Chain A
Amino acid sequence: MIYFDNSATSLHKPQTVYDAMDAAYRSEAYGNPSRGAYPQALDGLRALHKTRKKLSGFFGTKDPKKVALTSNVTTALNLVLNSILKPGDHVITTDQEHNSVLRPLYRMEDQGVSLDFLPLDEEGCVRISAFKNMIGPNTRAVVLNHGSNVTGALIDLREIGRYAKERDIICILDAAQTAGTRVIDVCDLGVDILCFTGHKSLYGPQGTGGIIMNVDLDSDPVFVGGSGFDSFNHLHPDLMPERFEYGTPNVVANIGLYEGISFIERTGLDRIEQHLNSLRRYFYASVRSIPGVRVYGPKKGCPVVSLNIGTRPSGEVAGILSDRFGICVRSGAHCAPRVHEHFGTQAQGMVRFSFGWTNNMQEIDRALEAIESLI
Chain B
Amino acid sequence: MEVYGLISFQTTSQVVSSEDVLEDAGIPCRLIPLPPEIDTGCGLVCKVSLEDLDGAAKVIKEASIPYLGLYQVTLDEGVREVVKR
Contacts and interface: CB of A to CB of B under 8 A. Distances in A.
A181 to B, nearest CB: 29
Contacts of A53: 20
B31 interface: yes
Interface string B41-72: 11110000000000000000000110000000
Contacts of A227: 11
Interface string A46-68: 10110011000000000111000
B31 A230 contact: no
A221 to B, nearest CB: 14
Interface string B16-56: 11011000000000011100000001111000000000000
A34 B10 contact: no
Contact of A229 (B11, B64, B65): B11
Q: Chain B, interface size: which category?
A: 10 to 19
A46 B43 contact: no
A241 B42 CA distance: 14
Contacts of A37: 31-33, 43-44
Contact of A241 (B13, B15, B43, B64): B13
Contacts of A242: 11, 13
B12 A239 contact: no
Given A33-B12, A37-B32, A45-B12, A229 B42 contact: yes
A24 interface: no
Contacts of A63: 64
Interface residues of A, number: 21
Given A37-B31, A63-B64, A230 B16 contact: no
B39 to A, nearest CB: 11
Contact of A42 (B14, B31, B41, B64): B31
A254 to B, nearest CB: 13
A237 interface: yes
Contacts of A48: 13, 16
18 contacts: A37-B43, A42-B16, A45-B15, A45-B16, A52-B13, A63-B64, A64-B13, A65-B13, A65-B65, A228-B12, A228-B43, A229-B11, A229-B12, A229-B41, A229-B42, A229-B43, A237-B10, A242-B13
Interface of A: 33-34, 37, 42, 45-46, 48-49, 52-53, 63-65, 227-230, 237, 239, 241-242
Interface of B: 10-17, 19-20, 31-33, 41-44, 64-65
